[in-house]
């Protein structure tokens, strides 16, 4: 759908309509996060569909969740997905996790939650994207006693130093 219309909100809306028309599996739904980063300007445009909110780790050390979006894809026809944007600076990272990370639980059912993600990032954000992703996954697995109950994914995007160059 991005080849038809590259706006994140429209891609989500088209994907939702297609999934809602698929009547073979009435329980089919999925969460999604779609972002486009303009590396020349540093603007990241994104839409979410029921997915865990992404976390922005600014190179200054500030950490914050990005805006949440609408319901998961495939749940309700005619859902209109909104588009959000955020200005990234060189060295800023955006971290996206699945609920397999936030719902990692101890034997006593204590969840890792978004609080665990933000705590990890607060202590490790200046490291490389590869180290952030691997370390965050390892920390969630350790919290769960060595085994996660759900699939887990961590994606870390970082705007490279020197991009965008606003000095001219």
pLDDT in 10s for each residue of the chain, 168 residues: 999 998 999 999 999 999 998 766 666 789 999 999 998 999 999 999 999 999 999 999 999 999 888 999 999 999 999 999 999 999 999 999 999 999 999 887 889 999 999 999 999 877 899 999 999 999 999 999 998 888 899 999 999 876 555 544
**What is the pLDDT, as a whole number, of residue 23?**
63
Q: What is the pTM of this model?
A: 0.88
- What residues does 97 pair with on adjacent strands? 154
Q: How far apart are CA 20 and CA 76, in angstroms?
A: 7
The encoded tokens of residue 99 equal 């609920």
Give residues with Cβ within 8 angstroms of 65, minimum separation 6: 53, 54, 55, 56, 114, 118
The encoded tokens of residue 139 equal 């920390």
**What is the pLDDT, as a whole number, of residue 147?**
87
Q: How far apart are CA 13 and CA 137, in angstroms?
A: 31
**What is the pLDDT, as a whole number, of residue 106?**
86
The encoded tokens of residue 65 equal 């969740």
**What is the pLDDT, as a whole number, of residue 160?**
86
Strand order, beta sheet including 43-49: 32-38, 43-49, 84-87
**What is the pLDDT, as a whole number, of residue 167?**
45
The encoded tokens of residue 36 equal 């486009």
């Amino acid at each position: 759908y991005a080849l038809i219309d590259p706006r994140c909100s429209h891609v989500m809306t088209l994907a939702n309509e297609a999934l809602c028309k698929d009547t073979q599996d009435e329980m089919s739904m999925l969460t999604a996060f779609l972002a486009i980063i303009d590396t020349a300007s540093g603007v990241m445009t994104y839409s979410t569909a029921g997915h865990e909110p992404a976390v922005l780790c600014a190179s200054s050390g500030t950490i914050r969740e990005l805006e949440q979006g609408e319901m998961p894809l495939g749940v309700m026809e005619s859902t209109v997905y909104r588009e959000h944007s955020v200005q990234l600076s060189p060295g800023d990272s955006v971290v996206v996790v699945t609920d397999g990370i936030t719902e990692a639980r101890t034997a006593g059912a204590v969840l890792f939650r978004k609080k665990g993600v933000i705590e990890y990032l607060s202590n490790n954000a200046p490291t490389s994207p590869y180290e952030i992703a691997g370390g965050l996954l390892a920390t969630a697995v350790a919290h769960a006693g060595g085994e996660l109950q759900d699939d887990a994914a961590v994606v870390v995007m970082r705007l490279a130093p020197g991009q965008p160059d606003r000095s001219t």
